[in-house]
Amino acid sequence: MKRIISLAVSALILLSLAACGRAASSASSASSASSAAPASAPAGSASEAPGSDGQTSSAPSASAVQDGESSGRVLVAYFSATGHTETAAQAIAQATGADLFVITPAQPYTAEDLNYSDETSRVSREYADESLRDAALAETVPEGWDSYDTVFIGYPIWWGVAAWPVSSFVAANDFTGKTVIPFCTSASSGLGDSGSLLAQAAGTGNWLEGTRFSSSVSAEDVQAWIGELGL
Ligand SMILES: Cc1cc2nc3c(=O)[nH]c(=O)nc-3n(C[C@H](O)[C@H](O)[C@H](O)COP(=O)(O)O)c2cc1C
């Protein structure tokens, strides 16, 4: 009898340990998805990421691309205020043979406009009041838009989200039938919800999760990522 009780207690202990292990593992993957933001540039708001057309795929990977969903022409559309995202965009275009489209605000940002340490600067005012974010772009629809199957969308992170000229770009274009791959550069924040917020703003397209590069991104970093995508 003693032996049976001892066996039952051991089994209970083993079951409890297994349950703890599972809880620890899911907490760790949730925390690895969170992102840091620089002290001087607070991160933006979070949002949920649903998973149909116009939303970020829940399990984005290179497989959708490799399965032939997007075997045609590739476009890299990007906004870059100070040149870091442009470096990544050009490296992607070189590695994939893509065309480039520069998302240009009708009223470009000067260095003074970009000074987020000054609460009266243009970006600070636009951050505080979304209605001030001028949606106008110099050109909205890239030439030959319908012929692109895969579109990389590049942007700097501003206060934890995509710099807003990119939101104007995605809201104004129809991504139906296209695979969309966001990429960003930042001082320290992660990709966060920036891609899924853009997917929501677009409302169409098969959006993959994409990636974040450091501001000091190199062509080698980009090539390694493109290699993983299997384009
Ligand atoms: C208005 C503004 C807000 C920023 N907010 C963040 C931020 O929240 N997190 C972060 O890591 N970097 C932030 N940065 C830094 C930029 O994301 C980073 O320097 C980026 O690489 C710039 O890309 P670009 O040269 O293509 O414009 C911010 C920069 C600016 C101008």
What are phi and psi for residue 206, nearest 5 degrees? -100, 100
Task: Using CB atoms within 10 Å of the CB of residue 192, give its burial: 0 to 12 exposed, 13 to 18 middle, 19+ buried.
Answer: buried
Which one of 157, 212, 214 would you pick to mutate in the ligand 1 pocket, going by the greatest count of ligand atoms within 8 A of its CB?
157
Domains of the chain, with CATH numbers?
A: 63-229 (3.40.50.360)
- For 48-106, the pLDDT digits (tens) are 222 234 545 433 333 344 344 445 899 999 999 999 999 999 999 999 999 999 999 99
- In one-letter notation, the amino acid at residue 107 is Q
- For ligand 1, atom 16: residue with the closest CA: 186
* Per-residue pLDDT, 54: 52
Which pTM value belongs to this model?
0.77
Task: Report how far ligand 1's centroid is from the alpha carbon of 182 (Å).
Answer: 16
* Token reading at 56: 């970020």
Q: How far is CA 108 from CA 3, 37, 103, 122, 123, in A?
A: 79, 25, 10, 11, 12
What pLDDT digit, counting tens, does each position of 214-230 carry?
999 999 999 999 999 98
CB atoms within 10 A of CB 137: 18
Contact 178, 144 (CB under 8 A): no
**Low-confidence winner among 33-47, 71-85, 170-184 (lowest mean pLDDT):** 33-47
Best CA proximity match to 103, nearest among 80, 84, 79, 81: 79
Q: What is the residue type of 194?
A: S
* Minimum CA distance residue for ligand 1 atom 23: 156
User: What's the full length of the chain, in residues?
Assistant: 231
Report how far residue 12's alpha carbon sits from residue 23's, in angstroms, rounded to the nearest whole number: 17
Answer yes or no: is the C-beta of 105 below 6 A from any ligand 1 atom.
no
pLDDT, the chain, mean: 78
Average pLDDT over residues 144-162: 97
- Using the 8-state DSSP alphabet, how is residue 25 labeled? H
